[in-house]
Amino acid sequence: MPVTIIAYLVMASFHKVLRMERAEREGQVLRRPSIAPIGGQVPERSWKQRLEQMRSYPSLRQVTQFLDRTVRPALDEVAAEFRNQGYDVERDVMLNAHNIEEPVLRVSMETFRDFHYQVAIVEAPVPMFSGRMSRETDLYYRLEVFTQTGSGGYDLMGLTKQQVIDDVLERYEAHLAFLTFSSETSTASVLTPSVLPKDQYAIPKDADDIQDLDGKNE
């Protein structure tokens, strides 16, 4: 009997996780209907940036410098604009295994799941069939974006500050779409509370309030 109860609890938890993933996926599709769910270049890069990334395997020192010179200023600028427009924003850091502070941006969503955007340094093996003529090292480092559901699976290394800002806004708008879809389909959990009444909108802030950031120059 105890094993049966545990099995049912595991099944119920797994079912809830699948519904949460579906809500997040459907929210992204609703937000960007012109792009297939399997992707496209995220975040968008120029063709020269994409070509350069294919043969670039940066060191820990290089990604740390890029983090300090490009990513942190971009997140600071986004956080400042969020605050100017009345959002409850927190800029924090998390210390990784290399004793490097990784930047974190959080936007409070009141009773809803907060928006979480963290840029983390991830170690990865250099592929054997890389575009370089020789392999100087077996490892390189990536700057991956993590949300509350894990890694986004892409690298920010080589982007401009404006492109990083654009990526934060894309992830935030996708988060708003996720909250809307999860509320409409009853995916209540610790992260997404129960469904609101029909006459109450699910998102406490209007996404249009932050559109001005899209047009800012680096």
Structure tokens at 177: 């779409």
The pLDDT assigned to 26 comes to 56
pLDDT given at position 130 = 52
Residue 72 scores a pLDDT above 90: yes
| 135 pLDDT tier (thresholds 50, 70, 90) | low
Element (H, E) at 89: strand 89-95
What is the rounded CA–CA span in Å between residue 111 and residue 20?
17
Per-residue buried b or exposed e for 108-121, using 16+ beta carbons within 10 Å of the residue's own CB? ebeebbebbbbbbb
Calculate what percentage of the chain has a pLDDT beyond 70: 68
For residue range 36-53, list pLDDT tens digits in order. Answer: 333 334 577 888 888 887
Extract the tokens encoding 183: 């509320």
| Whole-angstrom distance, CA of residue 50 vs CA of residue 153 | 15
Instruction: Give the C-alpha separation, 131 to 150, whole Å.
Output: 29
Domains in the chain: boundaries:
2-215
Which strands sit side by side in the sheet containing 139-147, from one edge to the other? 89-95, 101-107, 115-125, 139-147, 150-155
Asked if residue 101 lies in contact with residue 119, where contact means CB atoms within 8 angstroms, the answer is no
pTM: 0.66
**Spatial distance between the Cα atoms of 71 and 91, rounded to a whole number of angstroms:** 13
What is the rounded average pLDDT for all residues in the chain?
77
- 150-208 tens-digit pLDDT: 888 889 999 999 999 999 999 999 888 888 877 665 544 444 444 444 444 344 444 45
Confidence of residue 34 (pLDDT cuts 50, 70, 90): very low
